């Protein structure tokens, strides 16, 4: 399955260049048709790159979050991270609407960092009787933050904007409006470089210390990676739900949890899944588009249910 996804990925990426309302055919590119090339350079190419970057990095930080929380159900959208990022984006939009995207990302990151740190701090105090307590804590936290954000958005007439940010959508991606995602991609590479640390962190604090690693520093590094990537993705293309949950779990099931070994697969499968869902969204109601957030939500929840039913026990790692 993973190998299939790896083979499928380039094919999907190529198809993604040619699917959309405006017609581009491969022959047009071969004939060096300037209009066709223009469309690819300005819209289809960036869109495809954005999908690849967002998919891969979201799935990668899902894995990192699961290692940090030592729980299979932890991912940015079940730990409050995404909700905090959205709140940050909302607050900065109200306070300083004219700020450039980079500044908005910084604000969203700051909120996401604070939120994720809060989540991990709460986790340390809650007795973990079941692995499901971890995502429950995160979802409750996220719910509260979401409610606050909705209230603020309601009072400031920004409900529509909040709704748009909450649903990942790549149809507006154009050259010049997605490049921040390269930051997310670069951070996914950083995560790979530090992969062993995260595997060790997943073994728990005692193992980490015994092996001479600073547990706190690993947590902080992971927190920063998770928060920045989540914020970048949310600000640039909106929330892509479930990806960070489903992809790492599928890979873990097939290949285990040695992050050094699994991360490339996680990135590949994440990119392939988002790309496939986006293509589906473009084709389902052609010539209209269904946002990828919606498609991933549906596909992801089906996959997630399958995972839950398949893994009879031991789905979490409490400890």
- Piece of 55-63, 89-97, 107-115, 200-208 that binds other proteins (CB under 8 A): 200-208
Closest CB to other proteins among residues 177, 255: 255
With CB under 8 A as the contact rule, the residue among 99, 106, 186, 203 that binds other proteins is 203
On the CB side of 52, CA atoms within 13 Å amount to: 22
Rg over alpha carbons for the chain, rounded to the nearest Å, is 19
Minimum CB distance to other proteins, residue 252 (Å): 6
C-alpha closest to that of 292 among 196, 179, 172, 188 = 172
- Piece of 11-19, 113-121, 160-168, 209-217 that binds other proteins (CB under 8 A): 209-217
Minimum CB distance to other proteins, residue 317 (Å): 2
C-alpha closest to that of 203 among 62, 314, 73, 67 = 67
Q: In angstroms, rounded to a whole number, what is the distance separating the alpha carbons of residues 238 and 258?
A: 30
How far, CA to CA in Å, does 106 sit from each of 85, 113, 147, 221, 238?
10, 10, 22, 17, 15
Angle between helices 81-95 and 101-125 (to 10 degrees): 140
Binders of other proteins among 91-130, rule CB under 8 A? none
Is residue 266 within 8 Å of 251, Cβ to Cβ?
yes
Per-position x/- string for 296-315, each x denoting binding to other proteins as judged by CB under 8 A, each - no binding: ------------------x-
Report if residue 207 touches other proteins, rule: CB under 8 A. Answer: yes
Is residue 37 within 8 Å of 29, Cβ to Cβ?
yes
Q: How many amino acids of this chain bind other proteins (CB under 8 A)?
A: 29
With CB under 8 A as the contact rule, the residue among 167, 199, 230, 268 that binds other proteins is 199
With CB under 8 A as the contact rule, the residue among 174, 210, 283, 286 that binds other proteins is 210
With CB under 8 A as the contact rule, the residue among 260, 294, 301, 307 that binds other proteins is 260
Is residue 294 within 8 Å of 301, Cβ to Cβ?
no
Q: In angstroms, rounded to a whole number, what is the distance separating the alpha carbons of residues 185 and 197?
A: 19
C-alpha closest to that of 266 among 8, 61, 12, 116 = 61
Closest CB to other proteins among residues 172, 204: 204
Report if residue 196 touches other proteins, rule: CB under 8 A. Answer: yes
Q: In angstroms, rounded to a whole number, what is the distance separating the alpha carbons of residues 143 and 149?
A: 10
Minimum CB distance to other proteins, residue 193 (Å): 10
Closest CB to other proteins among residues 10, 256: 256
Closest CB to other proteins among residues 160, 313: 313
Task: List residues near other proteins by CB under 8 A.
Answer: 67, 70, 195-196, 199-200, 202-207, 209-214, 252-253, 256-258, 260, 314, 316-319
């Amino acid at each position: 399955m993973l190998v299939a996804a790896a083979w499928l990925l380039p094919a999907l990426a190529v198809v993604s260049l040619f699917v959309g309302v405006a017609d581009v055919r491969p022959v047009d590119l071969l004939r060096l048709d300037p209009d066709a090339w223009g469309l690819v350079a300005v819209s289809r190419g960036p869109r495809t790159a954005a999908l690849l970057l967002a998919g891969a990095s979201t799935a990668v930080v899902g894995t990192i979050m699961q290692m940090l929380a030592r729980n299979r159900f932890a991912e940015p959208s079940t730990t409050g991270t995404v909700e905090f990022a959205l709140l940050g984006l909302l607050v900065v939009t109200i306070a300083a609407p004219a700020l450039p995207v980079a500044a908005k990302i910084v604000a969203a990151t700051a909120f996401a960092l604070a939120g994720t740190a809060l989540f991990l701090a709460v986790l340390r105090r809650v007795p973990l009787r079941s692995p499901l307590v971890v995502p429950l804590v995160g979802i409750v936290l996220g719910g509260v933050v979401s409610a606050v954000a909705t209230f603020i958005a309601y009072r400031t007439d920004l409900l529509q904007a909040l709704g748009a940010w909450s649903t990942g959508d790549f149809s507006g991606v154009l050259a010049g409006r997605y490049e921040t995602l390269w930051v997310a991609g670069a951070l996914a590479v950083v995560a790979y470089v530090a992969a062993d640390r995260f595997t060790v962190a997943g073994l728990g604090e005692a193992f980490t210390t015994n092996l001479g690693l600073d547990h706190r520093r690993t947590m902080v590094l992971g927190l920063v990676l998770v928060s920045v990537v989540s914020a970048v993705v949310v600000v640039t293309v909106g929330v892509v739900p479930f990806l960070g949950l489903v992809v790492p779990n599928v890979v873990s099931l097939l290949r285990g949890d040695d992050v050094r070994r699994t991360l490339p697969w996680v990135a590949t499968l994440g990119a392939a899944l988002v790309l496939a869902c986006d293509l589906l969204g473009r084709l389902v109601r052609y010539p209209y588009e269904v946002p990828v957030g919606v498609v991933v939500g549906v596909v992801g929840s089906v996959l997630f249910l399958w995972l839950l039913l398949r893994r009879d026990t031991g789905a979490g790692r409490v400890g």
